[in-house]
Amino acid sequence: MMNERVLMSSPEIDESDVEAVVEVLRSGRLSLGPKAEEFEKALCQYLGVHHAVAVSSGTAALHLIVKALGFGLGDEVLVPSFTFAASVNALLYEGVTPVFCDIEPATYNLDPADMEKRITSRTRAVMAVDVFGHPADWEAIREIAARYNLKVIDDSCEALGAEYNGRKLGQFGSAAAFAFYPNKQITTGEGGVLVTNNSEIAASARSMRNQGRGEMGSWLEHERLGFNYRMDEMSAALGLSQLRRIESFLEKRRKVAELYSQLLRDVRGVRTPVVSPGVRMSWFVYVITLDEPIDRQVVLKALRERQIPVRCYFSPIHLQNYIRERKDCQIERLPITESIARRTLALPFHNGLSPRNVEEVVGAVRSAVESVLSHV
């Protein structure tokens, strides 16, 4: 039995975060106040973008991007299936047809070559996902998109702080989305942000997040169809406090990931994450990949018996029932996606994971995998 409880994920909250939220509560200004604006400005400065629109979730940010770009019924957007459902759902909300693409076998990000093969006369954009905090191949994706006159959306909800060739993510598409759920690099509880260098996208998103109100209009006048996607002041205050410490958070996550990779290096049947040259990964989760002969369900059972929480990241979206039942989605085989998705396991991962915790997890993984291999 473990002497310490191993948590799958855990936000790092300190007294400065608590004080920031309490200050807002005492102010009485709980929504549409100065903290959200301050958080947006701080994000712009950190990410190197012109505009940030704080919203209630990363999903809301993606939805507003799709709507601000004017996509709708009959349009197609290229998107990986190896992602969280929100990437695809944001398209479906507007009647857009997702065209599922396969992934690279090393990084598990969108494969630009496979993406190009799926472009049709109805393709309007590509939505790339920076999976697990590893940047997509932005140079190749942007080159193909430019050649076919496609818009580019960056679903960077898992990758705040990641960099591609020295530039922070958020700068590589028409707009990008980040999320601040408690398992992310920083948290606002629930919350997200849309970032862009396009002033029209930003203005449209600001209006739509606030029920379609205009910037100078009265409270009961609405210029367009909108949503209640606002970020409240408590969440913004927490995000602002967290953002001040993000570099220390990223360094802690990097050290945990490096220790995992070091200890797992000689575990037979286990592949550790790949980090491409020119990339700074911001480590949303730590995912291992089991070799083909290994039965993942047996490994899962063994780990849970030892009180090690693990998750299967990701279940391919194109194989899920709500997509398979749709007549507008043409479902094709995605061999790499399907193979990888059968074999991945996310291990416990967060800023505060101690070396002892990591050693315990790795020991359990080693024991479980060796037991399975001994019967293969």
| Tens digit of each residue's pLDDT (9 = 90 or more) over 128-187 | 999 999 999 999 999 999 999 999 999 999 999 999 999 999 999 999 999 999 999 999
Give yes or no for residue 2 having a pLDDT over 60.
no
In the Cβ-directed half-sphere of 359, how many Cα atoms lie within 13 Å? Answer: 6
Question: Mean pLDDT, to the nearest integer, of 263-269?
Answer: 97
Give yes or no for residue 208 having a pLDDT over 50.
yes
Q: What pLDDT, on the 0 to 100 scale, is given for residue 115?
A: 98
Q: What pLDDT, on the 0 to 100 scale, is given for residue 3?
A: 37
User: pLDDT for 277-323, tens place per residue?
Assistant: 999 999 999 999 999 989 999 999 999 999 999 999 999 999 999 99
pLDDT band at 216; cut points 50, 70, 90 = confident
Q: What pLDDT, on the 0 to 100 scale, is given for residue 219?
A: 84
Q: How many other C-beta atoms can be found within 10 angstroms of the C-beta atom of residue 312?
A: 15
Calculate the CA dihedral of residues 55, 192, 106, 88 and round it to 10 degrees.
-40
Give Cβ neighbours of residue 25 (< 8 Å, ≥ 6 apart).
234
Give yes or no for residue 252 having a pLDDT over 70.
yes
pLDDT band at 206; cut points 50, 70, 90 = very high
Q: What pLDDT, on the 0 to 100 scale, is given for residue 330?
A: 81
- Cα–Cα distances (Å) from 74 to 71, 86, 148, in that order, read 9, 20, 18
Q: What pLDDT, on the 0 to 100 scale, is given for residue 375?
A: 81
pLDDT band at 42; cut points 50, 70, 90 = very high
